[in-house]
Structure 1
Amino acid sequence: MSFTIFILAWLISVVWMTLFSALWSALSGNQFMESALISRLLNANLDKTTSQKQTYVLGWVIHFALGIVFLGIYEVLWEITNLERSLIWGLVFGGILGVLGVLGWKFLFKTLNFPSDFNYTQYYIHIFFAHLVFSFTALFVYHWFY
C-alpha cells in the first residue's frame, strides 16, 4: 500500500467518523464530537493558563492523531492476518477498533475530571459505531484505489 493512499484513507476516514459523530450529536441532543470532548477534558484538567482556543485546536490535533494510530492498527491487522479486505473483515476489524475506542474513552472518563451527568452509555454505543464508520470508510478508500 502506498503512503499517499494511507494518508488519504486516514483523512477521509477521520472526516467521515467526525460527520457521523456530528449527526449522532444532532439527533441525540448530546455533544458526542470527539474533538469537542477531548477539548472539554483538556479544559478540565490542564492549568488555567491554557485558553479554550488552544484546547479546541489541541482537541482536533489529538483526534486526527488518534485516527492515524487507529488506521495503523487497522493496517497491522490486515498485514498479520493476510485476509482479503472485505466487508465482513472490515466489520470484524472495525469492531475491534470500536472496542478499543470504548475502552480508551472509559479510561479517560474514569481517570480525568468529567461530569457525572454525561450520557456515558449512549456515548459508548455511539463511539463503537463511529469506529465501524471509520473502518468501512478506510476499506472503501482502499477499494477505490486498488
Structure 2
Amino acid sequence: MSFVSQIFIAGIFATIVMTFFSYVLSFFLKSNFKEPQIINLIIFKTLKNQSYVKRHDIYGWIIHFAVGILFVAVFKIIRIYFLVDLTYFTGFIYGFFGGILGVIIYALAFAVHPNPPVNNRILFYCQLVVGHIIFGLVMLFFLRHL
C-alpha cells in the first residue's frame, strides 16, 4: 500500500475512534467534548454574521479529520528520520504528546476567543489527552496492518 494511502486510512480511522470516544464521554458526563462542534464554535463565533454556521456543520468535521491525517503524516515523517519502531508504546507516547499539544492549542484558542464555547475545561483537557492516546494506538494498529 502506498505511503499516502497508509496516512489517509490510518488518519481517518484513528480520528473516527477518537471522536467516538469524545462523543460517548460527552453523553455520559453531560458536557460538550465534541471536537468538530467546538472547532465550529471557536472559528465561527468570532464572525459578525454567525447565522450561517451552526455547531453541527461540516466545517469542523473537515478540519478535525484534516488534522488527524496531518498527525499521522507527521508520525510517518518522524518514523523515517528517527527510525521509530511501530510499537503500541510508541503510539501511546505519540498520542500523549499529541494530546498535550492539543490541550495547549485549545487553551490558547479559548484564552484569545472573545466568546469561547462553554464546557468543563479540566475534563475537556483530560479527555483530549486520553482521546489522543486512543488515536495514537489506533493509528499504530492500522500502520502495522496496512
Q: How does the TM-score come out when normalised to structure 1?
A: 0.89
Moved more, 37-46 or 13-22: 37-46
Deviations 1:77-121 (A, max 9, x none): 222220211011111111111111111111111111215x52101
1:142 equivalent to 2:140? Answer no
Structure 1 pair 42–18 and aligned structure 2 pair: CA distance change class (3 A): same
Secondary structure at 1:137's aligned position in 2?
helix
1:70 equivalent to 2:71? Answer yes
Letter in 1 for 2:62: V
Moved more, 77-86 or 118-127: 77-86
Matched-pair contact (CA < 8 Å) for 2:23–2:34: yes
d(CA) in 1 for partners of 2:11 and 2:19? 12
* Structure (1/2) with the larger helix percentage: 1
Q: Which runs of 4+ in 1 moved over 6 A?
A: none
Secondary structure at 2:129's aligned position in 1?
helix
Shift of 1:50: 5.1
Map 1:55-134 onto structure 2 (within 5 A): 56-112=57-113, 113-115=115-117, 118-134=119-135
Deviations 1:37-85 (A, max 9, x none): 1112233112315513597221111111211222222222222220211
Matched-pair contact (CA < 8 Å) for 2:103–2:128: yes
d(CA) in 2 for partners of 1:138 and 1:56? 26
Matched-pair contact (CA < 8 Å) for 2:10–2:69: no
**CA-atom RMSD in angstroms:** 1.9
Moved more, 95-104 or 43-52: 43-52
Shift of 1:23: 1.0
Structure 1 pair 81–129 and aligned structure 2 pair: CA distance change class (3 A): same
Matched-pair contact (CA < 8 Å) for 1:43–1:55: no
Matched-pair contact (CA < 8 Å) for 1:77–1:93: no
Aligned to 1:46: 47
Secondary structure at 1:52's aligned position in 2?
coil
Percent identity, aligned pairs only? 24
